[in-house]
Structure 1
Amino acid sequence: MRSARTMKRRRALALAATIGIGGAVLAPTPAWAQDDAASQETVGYATPPPVDPGQRPNDDGQPDKTYEKKVECVQRNLEYSEDLQNAPWGQQYLRIDEVHALMRSTTGHVGIDPKTGKPIKVAVIDTGVRQHPYFKHEVLGEGDYVRKGGNGLEDCDGHGTEVAGIIAADTPDHIGFIGVAPDAQIMSIRQSSQNYAPKQNSGGGSTPGTGPSQDSRTQDSEGAGTLSTLAKAVVRAADKGAQVINISINNCRPANGPITPDEQQLQAAIDYAVRVKDAVVVSAAGNVSDATSCKQNDQALAEKPTTIVTPPWFSDNVLSVAAIDETGGVADFSMNGPWVSVAAPGTGIISLDPAEGSDRLANLMVDGGETQEIRGTSFAAPYVAGLAALVRAKYPDLNAYEVMHRIKFTAQHPAASNGRDNFVGYGVIDPMAALTATVPSEEGMPSAQAEELPSDMPPASNRDWTPTIVALTGAGGALAALVITLFVVHTIRRNQKDTEKPARA
């Protein structure tokens, strides 16, 4: 067993300058729909209006404007020469090794579609994913909305590769870290980058941006990626056959108005992916940032959020993922909201080193010139995306909505009304339960109904004295009869003696 000092040292070994605290920063709200947009005023825009399928964008596969690189791509820090070999706490917390053993014993694989015999395809819409040697299958480059003519296999920021590693890294046996679904195949679509910026005079107006939320680089900064291109990327992923779509990028805005045109496009794109193309969409819940529009939803009325985050806002069609820390409680940076579906580990992250040419792992990043641990709801979401891939592999007949329901139904529900709250949703995911539990709706069984039980003591169990009274009465009557009988017999015998006595002379 490694000493505490060795373990501590290994946690500081691999250093990659990644895009950062990863998380989510977008806009809009949850699950239980309203009849019309006007009704949102009564709930503080907690629920988006119904989907308008006509708003689904046509995917041209092109950036919305011309972007150019402003910051050099991430590079490996050669000061760190040793490899990370320990498993991150989140992987142990979710019992991923046991889950893999279960999958291999029951299906013979960890992420293969039994209907086709091919890997489950998981689209990562992010900053790109590079071809790291620890991916079992070739990363499929399916699009680039940052650089015209790109294929999505450049990850200048470093964020997307780390996200993808949590989903599908297949590491050697001597390395503790491993992806949730190592047999799955990653599809990469680069949609955003904070290392790129619009080229001067490239045209285009100001539109809501997207990006992994963090302290110094957010969607509010001048980078590549908008809600409009995110909507196109979702349509592309669905059309390319993604069975699971992970979106660890998003946009925040104040909850002071109805849905915007760009949000309508994203809502329609997600609805198309889930309802029409049967893809499970997973999104990071978002990271709090006082420097941006991502203000925490800590208002008195939970159903009236002050900040809206998309894609999580569209929770009828999205599994929105909050982050927990090593204590098992919700992380202090995780955005709250009525759209949160479930939670997963989001701190102390270990994943693939995104630096070009590296064959190692990373557990640190550089942000603002300082090193810090990799954390954020960005990295909680891929734990859920990986689990969705495993569920699809073990239960191939379930549709996207049923997969989402199974993950929420088997989560570790918080002690709150209806088993959910605005912090962790239906609770921290339980991969083992998600892959083994019996879900009533799948078996045609009625769901359990809540039953109100009395809070006072049960009624007193008073004794029925009737049998005792009857018995005593009978015994008393018999005794009286016996006494009378004895008296009569005694009297008769006495009289007989008196008559038989001879008279005196």
Structure 2
Amino acid sequence: MRRRPGNWARTLCAAAVLGGALLGPQASAGARPMATVAVTPPSPADSVPGDTMGQAGKPAPLTTTELKVECGTQFYLRPGGVPKDEPVSQKVLDLPAAWQANPGFGNRGAGQTIAVIDTGVARNPRIDVQPGGDYVSGSDGTEDCDGHGTVVAGIIAAKPSPDDGLVGVAPDAQILSIRQLSEHYQAKEQSGDKPPGSMSQQGYGLSATLAAAVVRAVQMKATVINISAAACTTAGSATGDEALGAAVRFAYEQGVVVVAAAGNLDSSNGCGTQNTAQSNPSASWNSLNTIVSPAWFSKYVLTVGWITKDGSPSSKTVYGPWVGVSAIGQDVLGFDPKTGAIVNTSGYDEQNKVYVGIQGTSFAAPYVSGLAALIKAKYPNWSARQVMNQIILTAHQPGTGRDDRVGAGLIDPVAALTAHFPDDVLNSDNPVLPNHVGSDQPQAFPTPQKPAGPPRLPRLVATVGTIVCLSALGIGLAISIPFRRRRRDDELPDLD
């Protein structure tokens, strides 16, 4: 069990991150063997349903909702005070170097609007938040009863402060907050099982309203959309996300990059059965236990897995052939939606006697959204496919080239902002990952030549000149000694 802290809490380099754990796929420890199902990758409709377009224009819940649990953040500050150091998840990205890779107005995301479709984003002096609407209740989108969306927004766009180590990937970007999910609200007349497409087992949030929120974000000129939420269904059963598929396709075709969390393995949220992890996407589609939406619309969505601080793929990511890249999603920093203060724990684990950091694919995804905004700022005319491929092709890959746990691997902002690929690769639906792990055949390397070093003539001239100068000084000193003695004798007083 976890308990919340008391009132005191309320008021690697890339090689180190990759480690040996990414060398090949494996099933999660303790996973129950189950009969898997072959699934055809989804093909969304090429037009958004009319009712979804209508909901996009007038954000509101589809049914009357009510507050069932008092609003209150689920995140707190652990003992020890506000951390001054960067969290590892942020530090490993080397953001200052990434910003320097694109000198100019947009190098820290200026001019970009990132829609955070979540539990809302509370206003905060360190985040440029604009209201986008509310599909849960009657706010303008800047009310956050849960704390989740505010933490996500801080990872994307928090402005730096000397008082703590948090800074967003794109701190000059604007956040467009659209509330679409909350664990504190329920449909007023709710009874029985949740329908397909439900994104919360206890609270309120539907794939249908998520679809409308995606379309609304596009209409409000978002350049990137972050979705740190997932709806899980048993493979082969109804997903109820047809409108959502059409919405993410619409965003993609409008040049908007949609980034989605892969989902966390957790029976309480409906994502309780893990998929086996493989390297070959075709084989993966033929052996699935769980479908994750919107992640599985992988042609139109860049899905993000979770890597732990020691470089291991987290076994709590819901694996799948749709996972595109990964980021560290553990021990992040964020803001409390009520006070604006720093938070860094979700509570105390009594069994293991440790504070549990804020973690999950929800908090890996915003690092990728921030990077997408930096790329859009540097290449404003790039399509969504080009931005997605640039991130995928520059990720630090596992030995297999990709696998269902981490996709193409850990994102690298510096590489993503400096590497160049041919147009046919950037525009490909299935870009070929560059081979970073060595060639198929051993190659002989010539013995390195000894460096020539700097030219000898300037050093020789400097050395001879120094010797001459020192010699002249020595001779001058020797000649002056008799004169100095005679001068002292002449100055002695006459005592006779």
Q: TM-score range by the shorter chain?
A: 0.7 to 0.9
Within 5 A, what are the aligned runs for 1:227-238? 227-238=207-218
Tell me the percent identity: 41
Determine if the alignment matches structure 1 residue 347 to structure 2 residue 330: yes
Q: Which residue of 1 aligns with 2:92?
A: 93
Any idea what the Cα deviations from partners look like across 1:279-302, whole Å, max 9, x if unmatched?
A: 100000010013453111027853
Helix, strand or coil for the counterpart of 2:364?
Answer: helix
Q: Which residue of 1 aligns with 2:412?
A: 430
Helix, strand or coil for the counterpart of 1:270?
Answer: helix
- Cα distance 1:387–1:15, how it changes in 2: closer, same or farther (>3 A)? farther
The AA in structure 2 aligned to 1:282 is: V
The AA in structure 2 aligned to 1:405 is: N
Q: Which residue of 2 aligns with 1:192?
A: 181
Q: Which residue of 2 aligns with 1:293?
A: 270
1:127 Cα offset (Å): 0.2
Q: Of the candidates 124, 131, 148, which is equivalent to residue 132 of structure 1?
A: 124
1:413 Cα offset (Å): 1.9
Q: Of the candidates 144, 168, 181, which is equivalent to residue 157 of structure 2?
A: 168
Determine if the alignment matches structure 1 residue 62 to structure 2 residue 36: no
Q: Which residue of 1 aligns with 2:307?
A: 324
Q: 1:16, 1:364 within 8 Å by CA — same for their partners in 2?
A: no
Q: 2:77, 2:345 within 8 Å by CA — same for their partners in 1?
A: no
Helix, strand or coil for the counterpart of 2:247?
Answer: helix
Q: Which residue of 1 aligns with 2:450?
A: none
Q: Of the candidates 363, 369, 386, which is equivalent to residue 370 of structure 2?
A: 386
Determine if the alignment matches structure 1 residue 362 to structure 2 residue 353: no
* 2: CA distance, partners of 1:455 / 1:109: 41
Q: 1:111, 1:389 within 8 Å by CA — same for their partners in 2?
A: yes
Within 5 A, what are the aligned runs for 1:76-115? 82-103=81-102, 105-107=103-105, 109-112=107-110
Q: 1:51, 1:267 within 8 Å by CA — same for their partners in 2?
A: yes
* 1: CA distance, partners of 2:310 / 2:294: 27
1:394 Cα offset (Å): 1.1
1:133 Cα offset (Å): 1.7
Helix, strand or coil for the counterpart of 1:181?
Answer: coil
The AA in structure 2 aligned to 1:110 is: R
Any idea what the Cα deviations from partners look like across 1:63-84, whole Å, max 9, x if unmatched?
A: 0111111212225869969433
Helix, strand or coil for the counterpart of 2:323?
Answer: coil
- Cα distance 1:77–1:164, how it changes in 2: closer, same or farther (>3 A)? closer
Helix, strand or coil for the counterpart of 1:321?
Answer: strand
* 1: CA distance, partners of 2:434 / 2:164: 46
The AA in structure 2 aligned to 1:49 is: S
Q: 1:391, 1:403 within 8 Å by CA — same for their partners in 2?
A: yes
- Cα distance 1:52–1:14, how it changes in 2: closer, same or farther (>3 A)? farther
- Cα distance 1:263–1:325, how it changes in 2: closer, same or farther (>3 A)? same
Q: Of the candidates 48, 51, 60, which is equivalent to residue 45 of structure 2?
A: 51
Q: 1:246, 1:282 within 8 Å by CA — same for their partners in 2?
A: yes
Q: 1:321, 1:341 within 8 Å by CA — same for their partners in 2?
A: yes
* 1: CA distance, partners of 2:326 / 2:172: 23
- Cα distance 1:427–1:151, how it changes in 2: closer, same or farther (>3 A)? same
* 1: CA distance, partners of 2:370 / 2:157: 7
Matched residues, number: 399
RMSD: 3.5
Helix, strand or coil for the counterpart of 2:164?
Answer: coil
Q: 1:254, 1:293 within 8 Å by CA — same for their partners in 2?
A: no
Q: Which residue of 1 aligns with 2:383?
A: 399
Helix, strand or coil for the counterpart of 2:241?
Answer: helix
- Cα distance 1:98–1:442, how it changes in 2: closer, same or farther (>3 A)? farther
The AA in structure 1 aligned to 2:178 is: I
Q: 1:111, 1:390 within 8 Å by CA — same for their partners in 2?
A: yes
- Farther off after superposition, 378-387 or 174-183: 174-183
1:205 Cα offset (Å): 9.0
* 2: CA distance, partners of 1:102 / 1:450: 21
* 1: CA distance, partners of 2:348 / 2:133: 27
Q: Of the candidates 130, 142, 148, which is equivalent to residue 153 of structure 1?
A: 142
Q: 2:257, 2:387 within 8 Å by CA — same for their partners in 1?
A: yes
Gaps of 5+ in 1: 1-10, 18-41, 113-118, 212-218, 459-505
The AA in structure 1 aligned to 2:307 is: I
1:256 Cα offset (Å): 1.9
Determine if the alignment matches structure 1 residue 282 to structure 2 residue 248: no
* 2: CA distance, partners of 1:311 / 1:439: 28
The AA in structure 2 aligned to 1:337 is: G
- Farther off after superposition, 155-164 or 45-54: 45-54
1:439 Cα offset (Å): 1.5
The AA in structure 1 aligned to 2:41 is: T
Q: 2:277, 2:319 within 8 Å by CA — same for their partners in 1?
A: no
